[in-house]
Chains A and B, each alone.
Chain A
Amino acid sequence: MTDTEIGLIRDSETGVVRQEWDTVVDNELRIDREDAETIIDALRVDHAGSFNLFYLVRKHYWTAEGAEHGDVADFLEAAYKRVRAVNDDIAVRIVELGGVPPNTPPTIQEAAAVHLEAEDLYDLRPSLEGDLEGYATLVASVREHVDLVEDLGDSGTGERLREHLETLEADAHVLEQYLEADTLVRTGAGTRG
């Protein structure tokens, strides 16, 4: 993160800090503090990743162009909302376990494995390829974390992640289908010889 970005974050003059960023307090779910710390570390990656994916997909919903844009934008609108719901749910789980979810640009970008796109607007195909890559990164990470949390006996988190995995994989598959090389349009159709 650059200095200017941190410059946007300003200490509040009034508030009382109830919990510092990057700390874990005891939880009321009777999950061992040490296990909770491990799980929170893992969830932070999925939380930050879904945060970035949310903005990535949403950008393409705003700006998709071309003959197919209507259908694609409808899908992206619904998909970005599903990613936001995943992001909210993971945040709440981090809080339940006694942690603080990433919530500023530096804390999010530090944890995220899903990358944002540069600020320009790009052609539809590379844009959607980037979305698909983002989904693939996130589902691989969530899948790994299902095993991790279930090994630690946290079936509550496990169930939530399984549900999210299903949602994210289904949307990734739709994107994959959009990108496949097949069409009803014949080469040269519309250019009567």
Chain B
Amino acid sequence: MTSSPHLRKPGPEHVRRAWGTIGENELRVPPAVAEQVVDALNADLSGLYILFNQVRKHSWLLEGAESNDVRAFLQATADRLSEMTDDLAIRVHALGGVPVCGPMGVRQHASLFIEPANLYDMRSSLERDLDGFATLAVQLRDHIELVQELGDNATLELLQGHLKTLEGDAHTLDRYLADDTLVRLGADE
């Protein structure tokens, strides 16, 4: 896949590391291991890109009596997803790889779908957010197993911390969506 023509592209003499390649790393992680870890982390970065922007979209647009409270949660979780993204991207760079950093990379590695550009109702929007969190949690769990087998303990620790954060936020969304209320049926009549 090639880049779109509208992308800024400094000359080949300025390329330090080409997209999709793995250079040497100074952490003495064997190249074959680094390659697998970078691939896994780039898939996580792609998913995080989509989920982060979806959560932000919902924080901008949701309406209704509960929207203020939900918005505060969505803003906080967007911050957490952003920190996670920084962490994993810097790890990819440290391992000699090129982190996913734009639409093309996102496309190559995506594990989530992108919501169409319309504004949707709050319940289905949050359900899609929850689905994104759950999909990423499963993916991170797989990658935790992978890096454990490969013996990359530093990445393992990063992923374990982030999995905990993702699961915590998924649980909060699950609670928002649960069928329970203090409002009695017919209370507004």
Contacts and interface: CB of A to CB of B under 8 A. Distances in A.
B10 A123 contact: yes
A100 B61 CA distance: 8
Nearest to A4: B107
A119 B98 CA distance: 8
Contacts of A126: 10-11, 14
Given A12-B124, A14-B127, A119-B3, A55 B15 contact: no
B102 interface: yes
Interface residues of B, number: 51
Interface residues of A, number: 53
Given A122-B15, A133-B8, A103 B57 contact: yes
Interface stretch (A32-40, A57-65, A154-162, A170-178): A57-65
Closest 3 CB pairs of A and B: A15-B124, A119-B19, A21-B117
A152 interface: no
SS of B interface (majority)? mixed
A8 B16 contact: no
A123 B20 CA distance: 17
Interface string A126-151: 11001001000000000000000000
A15 B120 contact: yes
A82 interface: no
Contact of A102 (B18, B89, B110, B117): B117
A171 B162 CA distance: 31
A163 interface: no
